[in-house]
Chain A
Amino acid sequence: MEPLTWTGALGAFLNPALGLGTAILALGVLAQIVLGFFAAPMTLQANADGTLQGRDGLLGTVETVNKYLFFFVLVLVLAYLIGGIVTPYGTAGIIGEMSRQFLPVWVALMVTFGVSILYKRRLGLYGKLFDSTVGMIGFAIVMFWVFTALFVGIFDLIATHDYLSQVSGLKNKGPGIPVPEGTTGAIPHYLLGGDNLARDIFSRVVVGSVFVISIAPLATVFAFMVGITLGLPAGFYGGLLDTILSFVANLILAFPVILLFYLLVTPEIVLTGIPSYMAAVLFVFPLIFFGVLLNSRYYTQPAKRTAILVPVLGILGWLYLSIINQRGTVIDFLPAWMDLFDISILVVFVSVVFVNAPTVFRIVRGLTLDLRTRDYVAAAQTRGEGAWYIMLWEILPNARGPLIVDFCLRIGYTTILLGTLGFFGLGLSSESPDWGTTINEGRKLLLIFAHPALPPAVALLSLVLGLNLLADGLREESLKD
């Protein structure tokens, strides 16, 4: 087999066109910026006949030309991707083949966007997201990785080779290298080359997304449960409780994160069982949260409350026990048939939740301090509602805007933290395909072979960027209310 080039035969006429288009667009944008400094500020004017008048003159022309040029470049970029899907194998080069591998993701993305845009007026804040370009771009990037993780993790699509199998002769080979005859794999090439153990980088990056997408949001949810359950009473009651909790939160925040990771995420600490105890404490908060949430809502109707609380707490309690119960650690008392799963990276999960929770606590506390003086809180108090009902059913729903935005940002931050752990080789095995570990593996020979470290770096960057853009779009749209 021939090695694949980046753009293949398709690039023969697409590359010059794209180069030319981009160059002119860059010049146009530059001209626009320069002209923009001299132009008078203007607002859109409505004419008498009901039409709108834009900017005229040289700047107006440049703006129009730039707009069309941008669409031209966009179409060319799409042509690479679509070309890869419709042409026979190898015609569209590495980019085309990657695009073909991601075909299920493209389809899923198109369906999601089509349905969402069609019904966006009925979907609340989620629907409003589709009014903001930034939000849509962010959402598209995030969903790209979510669908990738989904298809890789559940249906075993997309990845072209086994992410652990090493193929001799492909060590540190560049992108597009053909694999030897008889190697198992969906396609006969390593699309993004081999790493220093001769494993397929493309498959590793794609499989790594499963790790990030499954851990980061879950850890963030737990951090939010802890932060909300402690932050609401701290802000609502104030006093000694607030002082103590705030002191502890500041204590944890004053720790440099890396020092904390280096102290907590070591095999020796795992031996002492401290992570298991921390898990036992931290993971009990969702139980408290849901218990109090439902109890405060239905305690006037005891029959209904019991009917709801018992199954909810039963299931959550079982999940809680099977999370904290680990074979071979200090907490190992459940019989095997009751233990649903063992998380091998419990220590990573716990430390990420532990680091994130104090910040959430501070945000929730600040919001509560602000909201508890509102009239609807006073009204609820006059009605005789309990303190927890007011906190969870009056204050919390009204604090949701900033919390949702922070949730998106925090998933991104958690992704960065997970990458940091991988980068320092803490808590994760060196075989693990997560992006941080792959970057760490790749950086050792970075000055000689740059290609193994770049794809996971770009993947992590794009996911965090997507989450940030999504948060930005959500913030903009929620402020419009």
Chain B
Amino acid sequence: MGLFILRRLGVMILTALCLTFIVFWLTNLAPNLEKLAKTQGNARMTDDAVVSWLENRGYSQPLPVKYGQWLGVLPGYVIEGSDGETRARCAGPGVALEDASTFCGILQGDWGFSTVFKADVSGIVATRLGLTGKLMFWVMMVMVPGALIIGVLAGMREGSRTDRSLSTVSIVSTATPEYVSGVVFISVFATATFGMNWFKGTATSAMEDATFENFFLPVITIALYGMGYIARMTRASMTEVMTAQYIRTARLKGVSFPTIVLKHALRNALIAPFTVIMLQFPWLLNGVVIVETLFNYKGFGWVLVQAAGNNDIELLLGVSVVSVFVVLITQLISDIGYVFLNPRIRIS
């Protein structure tokens, strides 16, 4: 078990390094840097000015060197610029050139400086993650119990009318991407078009003060898309368990149907959905970006869009590191959890 986790951690770190390097490479391509220079400096810069702007700020160094600096394994650059000013990677606003440390990268806890928000990346990511965490918490609170109940109800009597109608509901919900359900929900429940103006169409006010009125629509929009998928997986695992020998034995002994479902079947039927719920996180991240854009909720997904749209390299890297780690850690948890929950694997 220990070796298994160690090996997984090794693969995880390798994956994270590869992914961040790809993001680093894509954001540091010449046209992207030129765009950055023009948005940060002056939109009508000449080509020479762009080159010297980039050189003065350390963007013209070779890619592996830049990546090493960002990671914190190579010393940060100190460049005496063509305009006479000396700039160092580790000296930013508030840190004088003389006090700057030699290394400043992710490993030293320095996530860099966002060019769009003019603030430290770590601070932005932390606050926005908190907001998204609030959203995700409620999504989970709605999605997981809802999906499990639907799945178990549908799977306990395979082929029954309940099964067929609940399966149709879950197919419909998996077929509805967030940008469709969000648009439909807003126009039905947040405008006067259908006379059901019950909720708010934006969740901006929910950032400080989340109420049922302003938070329900974004939460249900994300939850619905994932719910159908988890419900179908739960149903599949439940139907499999219900045909198992020990369930038949219990029925033949005369155990009542509710007891069979709750005491005998449920425990074994919930192993597979656990993995599925954990693997849903990358998808949920997608949903978060769409829903936060649609409802104007300024969380992590919104920052991703802002960072990517403005080629804010260090913010984008911070965002990708966090999202990649969320994905990889949930994968790890789902693997370990599966081994841990499943007696057949745990004991052997």
Task: Mark A455-477 against chain B: 1 for CB-CB distance below 8 A, else 0.
Answer: 00110110011011100100000
Contact status B327-A457, CB under 8 Å: no
Contact status A439-B19, CB under 8 Å: no
A263 to B31, CA, bound (A): 12
Given contacts A272-B29, A443-B294, A446-B186, contact A469 B171 (CB under 8 A): yes
Contact status A461-B320, CB under 8 Å: no
A266 to B311, CA, bound (A): 10
Decide yes or no whether B259 CB sits under 8 A from chain A: no
Contact status B183-A258, CB under 8 Å: no
Decide yes or no whether B23 CB sits under 8 A from chain A: yes
15 A-B contact pairs sorted by A residue (CB < 8 Å): A254-B327, A256-B289, A256-B324, A258-B289, A259-B308, A262-B308, A263-B23, A269-B32, A272-B31, A419-B179, A424-B293, A439-B179, A450-B187, A453-B187, A454-B187
A-B contact number at CB 8 A: 139
Given contacts A258-B289, A420-B290, contact A439 B183 (CB under 8 A): yes
Contact status A254-B328, CB under 8 Å: yes
A448 to B197, CA, bound (A): 12
Contact status B319-A259, CB under 8 Å: yes
Within B34-48, which residues are at the interface with A (CB < 8 Å)? 34-35
Decide yes or no whether A255 CB sits under 8 A from chain B: yes
Contact status B180-A419, CB under 8 Å: yes
Contact status A263-B27, CB under 8 Å: yes
A251 to B17, CA, bound (A): 10
Separation in Å of the A293 CB from the closest CB of chain B?
A: 32
Q: Which residues of A contact B188 (CB under 8 A)?
A: 450
A429 to B329, CA, bound (A): 37
A464 to B188, CA, bound (A): 21
Determine which of A258, A272, A467 lies in contact with B286 in the assembled complex, contact meaning CB atoms within 8 Å.
A258
Contact status B177-A464, CB under 8 Å: yes
Q: Specify which of B11, B32, B180, B309 lies most central, judged by the most chain A CB atoms within 10 Å of its CB.
A: B180
Decide yes or no whether B305 CB sits under 8 A from chain A: yes
Q: Which residues of A contact B18 (CB under 8 A)?
A: 251
The number of chain B residues with a CB under 8 A from chain A is 55
Contact status B305-A424, CB under 8 Å: yes
A269 to B31, CA, bound (A): 7
Separation in Å of the B346 CB from the closest CB of chain A?
A: 23
Q: Which residues of B contact A457 (CB under 8 A)?
A: 179-180, 183-184
Contact status A262-B282, CB under 8 Å: no
Q: Specify which of A134, A412, A416, A468 lies most central, judged by the most chain B CB atoms within 10 Å of its CB.
A: A416
Determine which of A251, A258, A274, A465 lies in contact with B304 in the assembled complex, contact meaning CB atoms within 8 Å.
A258
Question: Given contacts A255-B19, A268-B32, A268-B35, could you give 18 more A-B pairs where the C-beta distance is less than 8 Å?
Answer: A256-B285, A256-B289, A256-B304, A256-B320, A256-B327, A259-B319, A262-B309, A442-B183, A450-B186, A450-B188, A450-B193, A451-B187, A453-B183, A457-B179, A457-B184, A461-B184, A465-B175, A465-B176
Decide yes or no whether A286 CB sits under 8 A from chain B: no
Least CB separation from A254: chain B residue: B327
A423 to B179, CA, bound (A): 7
Least CB separation from B326: chain A residue: A256
Q: Which residues of A contact B183 (CB under 8 A)?
A: 439, 442-443, 446, 453-454, 457
Determine which of B31, B175, B187, B323 lies in contact with A468 in the assembled complex, contact meaning CB atoms within 8 Å.
B175
Decide yes or no whether B126 CB sits under 8 A from chain A: no
A451 to B186, CA, bound (A): 11
- 9 tightest A-B CB contacts, nearest first: A450-B187, A262-B308, A268-B31, A465-B175, A450-B193, A464-B175, A457-B180, A416-B177, A271-B31
Least CB separation from A264: chain B residue: B26
Least CB separation from A448: chain B residue: B191
Contact status B323-A256, CB under 8 Å: yes
Least CB separation from A138: chain B residue: B171
Separation in Å of the A421 CB from the closest CB of chain B?
A: 11
Given contacts A254-B19, A268-B35, A419-B180, contact A447 B320 (CB under 8 A): no
Contact status A451-B193, CB under 8 Å: yes
Least CB separation from B191: chain A residue: A450
Q: Which residues of A contact B29 (CB under 8 A)?
A: 268-269, 272, 274
Q: Which residues of B contact A439 (CB under 8 A)?
A: 179-180, 183
Decide yes or no whether B5 CB sits under 8 A from chain A: no
Decide yes or no whether B273 CB sits under 8 A from chain A: no
A416 to B175, CA, bound (A): 9
Contact status B175-A461, CB under 8 Å: yes
Q: Which residues of B contact A274 (CB under 8 A)?
A: 26, 29
Contact status B26-A269, CB under 8 Å: yes
Least CB separation from A133: chain B residue: B164
A256 to B22, CA, bound (A): 13
Least CB separation from B187: chain A residue: A450
Decide yes or no whether B161 CB sits under 8 A from chain A: yes
Determine which of B162, B201, B289 lies in contact with A446 in the assembled complex, contact meaning CB atoms within 8 Å.
B201
Separation in Å of the A351 CB from the closest CB of chain B?
A: 12
Contact status A254-B308, CB under 8 Å: no
Determine which of A250, A264, A412, A448 lies in contact with B15 in the assembled complex, contact meaning CB atoms within 8 Å.
A250
Contact status B172-A465, CB under 8 Å: yes
Separation in Å of the A54 CB from the closest CB of chain B?
A: 14
